[in-house]
Chains A and B, each alone.
Chain A
Amino acid sequence: MDYVLTTNSLGKKYKHFQALNDLTMHIPKGAIYGFVGKNGAGKTTLIRIICGLQNPTSGEYTLYGKKNTEKEIVKARRRMGAVVETPAVYSDMTAEDNLKQQYYNLGLPSFHGLEDILALVGLKDTGKKKIKHFSLGMRQRLGIAIALVGSPDFLVLDEPVNGLDPQGIVEIRELILKLNRERQITVLISSHILDELSKFATHYGFIDSGHIIKEITAEELAEACRKCISVEVSDTKILAHVLDNMKIDYKILSDKTADIYAKVNVSVLTSKLAKENCEIISLRERDDSLESYYINLVGGGKRE
């Protein structure tokens, strides 16, 4: 698999605080990689490091095949655009002037595509309005617009929907999906709004205490979060036999517990089990969200 970014045992220490600890992650080309972790877990620190704003204290990372220790990493970084924490925009300039500054930074020969980028993020009609008079949502969108100048292949967005209203959140989601599908831009996006993230991410990385505890694809996550009925019975062997006969998908978890992945008629199942001398002790429907999956993963604050 082609990876845009891989990190290998990355570490970052600020005086006595270990922000990143042996962090290893892989972002495949073309993915929308949801970067999930609580406050202070190390998400922004990692993003700052891969953007070149800070240097790791241990380990290494590879961006488009160039290691961070190589001089060519600077060239590799030209293929990325990023919004780190707050949008990096000149508050005493207009949206257009801010974009022009980025065109100059990149050394682009003309302002070709500037209007298109502004239209893409919905800021085409801001005219001479200074950024200091923009709402937070408008600033966020301008930050993304700046990140899009120069047609990057890899977009890094740190909490891009922070402070946005529901409409703004939907717009940003649609924008990211559009960029990923139409322009094949790989996206690394960190977010606290996990259910929102679950609507478009293709891969996930879960970070806790500066360490990636799980990397998983959206399919694998869907499998793990599948809607199911958890049952506790007197004998799961009998339950398995009955469910096989009923051609129902299931998973035996122990001698007495199992997950059933289908909508079953409880009365029918109970009577069939009763015929085989198997009792249902308890039965409950389970519908894991990304949120509950994450909470289970980090152990509600204490990880194994």
Chain B
Amino acid sequence: MSKLLRANIVRLWKNKIFWVGFTFLTVMGAVQRISIGMDIERHFLDEAFWISALFIGFVLSAFISLFIGTEYEDGTVRNKVISGHTRSEIYFANVAVCIIAGWFMCLGCLIASLLIGIPLSGFFRTFPITLLEGICVFALSAAYAAIYCFVSMLGSNRAATAVVCILLSIFLLFSGTVVSNRLEQDEYYYIPDASLGIGEIDDGKDSEWIRNPDYLDGTERTVYEIIFNVIPGGQSLELSGQTNENNNYIIMLLASMGWIVITSGCGMLIFHKKDLR
């Protein structure tokens, strides 16, 4: 597999889409830190530090579908089979290079965030938590890579695969937003006294708090929180600081590893039986 991985990395290095994705995330990291650093309020470096988590899914969907799709479009996957590599080696070498590509992109964003963020916002207040979040971001990036690799390795048409992957990235982020909206519901609505005239002060005597029927609690809330931590879209929102739900880093890490194992395992089994043209 090392031979294929080396070949893939050489190809990655010369791939324009990879560098476009790398540049995009690096610029996003820089822009994010500048916009936070220029704010009137005092902000710290920890705040929304891992912005790459929000964009990595989308960027990888485009990059991986085209990078892997080229293998089918140009027929070069045939050279690997004919060269005497097993299907498993080909699959895992592709997953590995896509994970590496994602990590490089995240690294670009991280370096830009540090270089611009430290002079503008100072250093981290809670470095261990930010570090833990960083590990989760890199694991999430690997999970996204494994998911899009699964789709790309099983499809044979580069354009169709690209469309499916990009739509999937939107769906994943959307699913995270949907779960996040349910979790962020207020428990009570405040209904002010309707008889109050203009300029009258609401003393709260005739106003009331009504319980929000959409508010999640008990087991249902726990299930939603777990789902939010498990689905990549939910992790993207949490780790990029877009929401502030019950972050469970252990669940996030395990979920990312689960996505990698499940998609790669299933993908390899299906790819093993796939008729190549």
Contact = CB atoms under 8 A, between A and B. Distances in A.
B78 A53 contact: yes
B3 to A, nearest CB: 4
Interface string A79-96: 011101111111111000
B245 to A, nearest CB: 43
B67 to A, nearest CB: 11
Nearest to B4: A105
Given A53-B277, A77-B84, A105 B3 contact: yes
Contacts, number: 86
A100 B14 contact: no
A106 B83 contact: yes
B268 to A, nearest CB: 16
A93 B75 contact: no
Contacts of A14: 275
Contacts of A91: 74
Contact of A80 (B74, B77, B82, B275): B82
Nearest to B89: A74
Given A104-B6, A105-B3, A105-B7, A52 B81 contact: yes
Interface string A198-238: 00000000000000000000000000000000000000000
B84 A75 contact: yes
Interface residues of B, number: 27
Nearest to A97: B14
Given A91-B74, A105-B4, A100 B82 contact: no
Interface of B is mostly: helix
A9 interface: no
Nearest to B80: A105
B126 interface: no
A77 B82 contact: yes
Interface string B220-239: 00000000000000000000
A185 B277 CA distance: 25
Contacts of A55: 273, 275
Interface of B: 2-4, 6-7, 10-11, 14, 16, 70, 74-86, 273, 275-277
The 6 closest A-B pairs by CB, nearest first: A104-B7, A78-B84, A107-B3, A88-B75, A53-B276, A54-B275
13 contacts: A14-B275, A48-B275, A48-B276, A51-B81, A74-B84, A78-B84, A88-B77, A89-B74, A90-B76, A101-B76, A104-B3, A105-B4, A105-B80
